[in-house]
Amino acid sequence: MTTSRSANIEPPGPGREAAVPTGGWRRRRILAGLAAGVPAVAGGLLLSSCIDGRPGPGPSGTPSPGPSATAAPPTDGTTHDPEDPFRPAYHYSPQDGNMADPNGLVEYEGEYHLFHQQDGTWAHAVSTDLMTWEPLDTALEHDDLGLAMSGSCVVDGANTSGLLPDGGLVALYTSTTGGEAQSLAYSSDRGRTWTRYEGNPVIANDGRKDFRDPKVFWHEGSTSWVMIVSAGDHVEIHRSPDLKTWTWASSFGQDQGSHAAVWECPDLFPLKDVTDDEVRWVMTVSVGDNQETAGSTAQYFIGDFDGTTFFPEDDQIRFTDAGQDFYAAQSFEKIEGRRVWMAWMGNWRYPYSLPTEGWHGEMSVPRELSLTRVDGVRRLRQVPVPELEAFLEESADLAGMSAKDGVSELGTGRCVQIDVELDVSQAQDAWLSLARSEGSSTSATGSEVRVGVDTAHSVFYLDRSAGDLEKVANREEGAQEVDFALRREVPYTPVDGKARLRVLLDRSSLEVFVDDGATVGSFLVFNDAQAQGIALGATGTVSVLTGSLTPVAQVEAP
């Protein structure tokens, strides 16, 4: 294992404590306990306001000196909808039902299309800014070939399919009758209505159990459509001139990467390495529910692709996310000049067991992707899309704040961005305490979620072991409850004693981007909605070199 500023995310193993269940904390009821609030409905999405970004006192209970004591501007209110306290303010969530994998992400004629799994159908929403989503009618319902499972969309502007004389969208997805197979649908009206291809399936099932989740793209170098599709313990590459007739080209993965569970939801795309401008190909694969990582996870490979075969540049196992809740990530097709993806913030160990009202699931914030190098080793880099900045409100300056063998209050908020560079050179452990209630870090009556850097053991961690939700129902009926209160950690060593953390907290979701996205962790958070505290903590001494606490505005659908 290479010791580095932000070392490769690795699965649990000897000497590492990842996904550690914590039985010492009693289960707490998730209490609404909220002031009355009236939910707003915009564009079909249930919306409500949140308490955001108010600076807090220093360790003595009085405001800390300097810019950090400056009051933040008024926020967008102090009430949650008591019936729906965990619905995110600036992450996509379904109006109702059970959401899972993002599907068919594509940009077409000025609109971004987000399709996603919703009880075996393709739900649909569109956006012009990747943040504000307008729900549309369900795109693909069940039909004679069964469910419409995960897949992808492409723009067939040249009508290679012969189905779209004026161009349009083509979806490739997994149908289920007679075994998992790949089927096609097309739209000539900007994705508003869809027609199933009469020759479905375009790739029939040959008797295998697992054969799903096609991701399709145009490969310019070989002038062909390419499909990457999961096939149990590996992926397959297929090629087509017309999206209807497919030929197997190669397989990858039987002896590569993690095989803790079935492979799903593959993707394959070129990315530029920002350190040398060299373009490499990245293959991503999600790995289903398994004991090794205490749930589902995702991994990626870096290499070359010639239109037929993927050639990995090394045999390293690289995991996509350090947290517990980032699955089935898919990148958008046809976005010029950048590669953007989104993922389902969920886990197949507890996909629909969490305490939300009438809906389950939310998406990650859209992330821009690139490659970087850490100690000479290539790494996937993920950062929030710049479109998020339009929803950031006035910041409170945190520079100069510090904590010594305890905690210092920074402010309050459950819909915030925290962007800090920390001096951790004098700390054995340094952390941000989030969604924090009375008594956190001082007695067992308080709750919190931590993200931090344990310099004594050279790890970055996310820890919800002191949260309000200890166990949830297992997705397998009759099975033992699942530990939700756990800690995830990955190898990490700060450079020159400094760690940069960009944190996005949105009621029930938490995303942390470390050192400009070289390491990323995603967690779901179900602390009481009134647990609003934000604090800086340390064993030893930690100080904020530069930093801000910024409310993020409620995203209103058009």
Contact 139, 116 (CB under 8 A): no
What's residue 375's pLDDT? 86
Q: Would you call 101 a catalytic residue per the annotation?
A: yes
What's residue 446's pLDDT? 83
What whole-number distance in Å separates Cα of residue 490 and Cα of residue 414? 25
**CA neighbor of 197 nearest in space, from 217, 229, 169:** 169
DSSP state of 220: G
**CA neighbor of 240 nearest in space, from 161, 339, 176, 173:** 161
pLDDT means per 10 residues in the chain (558 residues)? Answer: 35 35 32 29 33 48 32 35 89 97 98 98 98 98 98 99 99 98 99 99 97 99 99 98 99 96 98 96 97 93 99 96 98 96 97 95 99 94 98 98 98 98 99 88 72 98 98 86 96 97 99 98 97 98 99 88
Name the token pair of 430: 């340094």
The four Cα atoms 112, 115, 116, 119 give a dihedral, to 10 degrees, of: 150
**Which residue pairs from 274-282 have beta carbons closer than 8 angstroms and sit at least 24 positions apart in sequence?**
274/370, 274/371, 274/372, 274/381, 275/371, 275/372, 275/373, 276/373, 280/304, 280/313, 280/371, 280/378, 281/305, 281/310, 282/369, 282/371, 282/380
DSSP state of 555: P
DSSP track, 390-417: GGB-PPEE-TT-EEEEEEEEEEE-SEEE
DSSP state of 149: -
Contact 533, 433 (CB under 8 A): yes
Count how many Cα atoms sit within 13 Å of the Cα of residue 470 in the half-sphere of its side chain: 10
- What are the backbone dihedrals phi and psi of residue 386, each rounded to the nearest 5 degrees, phi first? -65, -20
User: Longest C-alpha distance within the chain, in Å?
Assistant: 72
What whole-number distance in Å separates Cα of residue 343 and Cα of residue 273? 22
- What per-residue string of b and e applies to 172-195 under the rule 16 or more CB within 10 Å gives b? bbbbbeebbbbbbbbbbeebeebe
Name the token pair of 501: 């953390």
Return all residues near 416 (Cβ < 8 A) that are at least 6 apart.
52, 53, 503, 504, 505, 534, 549, 550, 551, 552
Strand partners, 423: 498, 543
What's residue 556's pLDDT? 83
List domains and CATH numbers for the chain: 20-81+393-551 (2.60.120.560), 99-351 (2.115.10.20)
Of residues 52, 101, 156, 468, which has the active-site annotation?
A: 101
Contact 395, 549 (CB under 8 A): yes
- The dihedral region occupied by 173, where left means phi > 0, alpha psi between -120 and 50, and beta the remainder, is beta
Strand partners, 544: 422
Q: Count the helix, strand and coil residues of the chain and give each as a percent rounded to the nearest 5.
A: 0, 45, 50
